[in-house]
Homo-oligomer: A and B are copies of this chain.
Amino acid sequence: MTTRIQKRNRKRILDAALEVFAAQGFRGATLDQIAAEAGLSKPNLLYYFDSKEAIHRLLMEDLLASWLEPLRAIEPAGDPRAEIMGYMRRKLQMSREFPRESRLFANEILQGAPRLEDFIARDLKALVDDRAALIARWSAEGRLAAVDPYHLIFSIWALTQHYADFDAQIRLIREGSDPLEGAEPFLERLFERLLAP
């Protein structure tokens, strides 16, 4: 049974840990930083979680589920261009709403994905292969431009996640104005032009 206090403190800790792991990576983050961010003492952190690794693992598990969902939501029965545009829009929305999750993921991949190897090589790969086959079918039927489906998927990832992962850079170049301002119409135009048969 989980108490009221447990629920509150676990949430605080995971939120603080997301912040710190996303910015510093697993090795670069310290429990002291996370504890300070959460407003708790370090021993108290370790009362709720077994170890630094355990906090990180839980964060990753939450992340991975939400990472597959948008791609899975592509409907084989739907209109090809609308489905892909919808996927792009959903991914962009995630960069807007969950930039820290995006940076956490980016940090893991940059470090060579040691903790994600299984997930990527199994779950993600299987889903991407499936969606790539679907896109190839759509292209063969003439309902979509003939594009390499893998690079199409990678390009959606690259373009949408860039706004979360490189937020600091974009902010400095655009001097404070919302980094995502104008991104959606730009990407819509880009992918509409790319996908028109």
Contact = CB atoms under 8 A, between A and B. Distances in A.
Interface of A: 22-28, 103, 106-107, 109-113, 116-117, 120-121, 124-125, 128-129, 147-148, 150-152, 154-155, 157-159, 161-163, 165-166, 168-170, 172-175, 182-183, 185-187, 189-190, 193-194, 196
Given A25-B107, A124-B169, A159-B159, 12 more contacts: A23-B110, A23-B112, A28-B28, A109-B168, A113-B172, A116-B169, A124-B173, A148-B182, A148-B185, A158-B159, A158-B166, A193-B194
Contacts of A175: 125
Copies in the complex: 2
Contacts of A174: 150
